[in-house]
Amino acid sequence: MAVKIAMIGAGWVCEARHIPALRRLPPVEIVGIVDPDEARARAVARKFGIPHFSAATSAAGIPWLAQANAVSISTPPRYHRDWMADCLGLGKDVLIEKPVALSRAEVADLDARVQKSGAMVAVMHNNLFTRSAVRARRLIADGALGRVTAVQTRLLNSPRRHLPNWYEALPFGLLYDELSHFLYLGDSLGKNLRVRNATVFPSSKGHATPALATLELQSEAFPLAFSLNFESPVCEWHMTIVGEKGILVHDVFRDILLRLPDDREHRAADHFRTLARATLGTWGGFIESGWRHLTGKLDFGVGEVMRRFVAACETRQAPERIAWPDALRVFGLLQDSIDALSAAAKS
């Protein structure tokens, strides 16, 4: 029996990621799409042969929505809470983009509704399932790095990059949206993460997103450091996992993973061996992932999230790593981070 899904929000994420991933899953039928912009909803529906579309800002008064037993919500974050609450009230299973809401109060309200409804709920923590992230966790589990001693994450962003028109309305702007990615990636590597310190340097150009923000977190076994620069001419997202036997460099934008072993005394021969591994590994990763990126087939783990969500709808078993308790844990870390950054901004 097909899982019948309604798409809530017809923006780029829905059109370029959610719908293509769902269309690759045989037991799925997309029954309709909703967006406040009727022309956009109509255009996406026609593009993918979706039978229904509506211009709406709530679930009320959409007759065809009764055909769906699940929804995929990819609206701007400020609408997440209201749409998710509406859909839970209608008995729908819910896949929701991160961040799930904008405050602890909103998430507490949603949690009460989830517990009451018994719905299957999944969150779009897609970068957990890129080939690079899966490979990194496997190498760590196999002991290839030895004991992990630290994780360092750096985001370089340019305000000239293609960005959604709603990001500056979020707490700390783009940081609020993008930090979630690295909190759930960090959460997958270390247990019981907690925020220890934060610094904020305001934008020199009047953006809500800081020019530079840093966070220090601690897991049970190792520290994690995060930095975001929003005044860079080059955009790069790198997560470096440091172990006793070597390091892994996860290039998140390109889905490339470099493994660099211990370079011992870092003498000339050691240095050039590391350089050769980094260079060849980058080109090897580009050959593996680059053509998919260029042809629009690199889905950054969205397909696996959709597969797990659809399976959860069918089996009534919570989807591993992306279930509602995972969403709550990561959202709690996000709010702790925002609290620390807010305190730092006032000091």
For domain 3-119, give the CATH number.
3.40.50.720
What's the pLDDT at 216?
Answer: 98
Instruction: Report the amino acid identity of residue 226.
Output: F
SS3 326: helix
What's the pLDDT at 265?
Answer: 83
At 87, list the tokens. Answer: 């859909």
What's the pLDDT at 342?
Answer: 97
What's the pLDDT at 161?
Answer: 86
Q: Alpha helix locations (H) across the chain?
A: 12-13, 19-23, 38-48, 80-89, 104-117, 131-141, 174-189, 268-285, 291-294, 302-315, 324-346
The domains of the chain are located at 3-119, 128-294
Per-residue pLDDT of the chain (347 residues; tens, 9 = 90+): 789 999 999 999 999 999 999 999 998 999 999 999 999 999 999 999 999 999 999 999 899 999 999 999 999 999 999 999 999 999 999 999 999 999 999 999 999 999 999 999 999 999 999 999 999 999 999 999 999 999 999 999 998 888 888 999 999 999 999 999 999 999 999 999 999 999 999 999 899 999 999 999 999 999 999 999 999 999 999 999 999 999 999 999 899 999 999 888 888 887 888 888 888 888 888 888 877 777 777 899 999 999 999 999 999 999 999 999 999 999 999 999 999 999 999 98
The residue written with tokens 């003498």 in the block is 267
pLDDT digits (tens, 9 = 90+) for 41-50: 999 999 999 9
What's the pLDDT at 272?
Answer: 83
Contacts for 56 with CB less than 8 Å, ≥ 6 apart = 34, 35, 36, 62
Contacts for 173 with CB less than 8 Å, ≥ 6 apart = 167, 207, 208, 209, 210, 230
- Residue 332 vs residues 43, 99, 224, 327: alpha-carbon distances, Å: 37, 11, 16, 8
Name the maximum alpha-carbon separation found in the chain.
Answer: 70
CATH of 128-294, one of 1.10.287.890, 3.30.360.10, 3.20.20.80, 1.10.490.10: 3.30.360.10
What's the pLDDT at 163?
Answer: 86
Contacts for 212 with CB less than 8 Å, ≥ 6 apart = 199, 200, 201, 227, 228, 229, 230, 231
Sort residue 134 into left (φ over 0), alpha (ψ -120 to 50) or beta: alpha
- Residue 42 vs residues 6, 34, 174: alpha-carbon distances, Å: 14, 9, 29
Q: What sign does the CA torsion over 57, 59, 61, 67 have?
A: positive
For residue 97, the 8-state DSSP code is P
Sort residue 291 into left (φ over 0), alpha (ψ -120 to 50) or beta: alpha
- Total-model pTM: 0.94
Residues 8 and 73 sit within 8 Å (Cβ to Cβ): yes
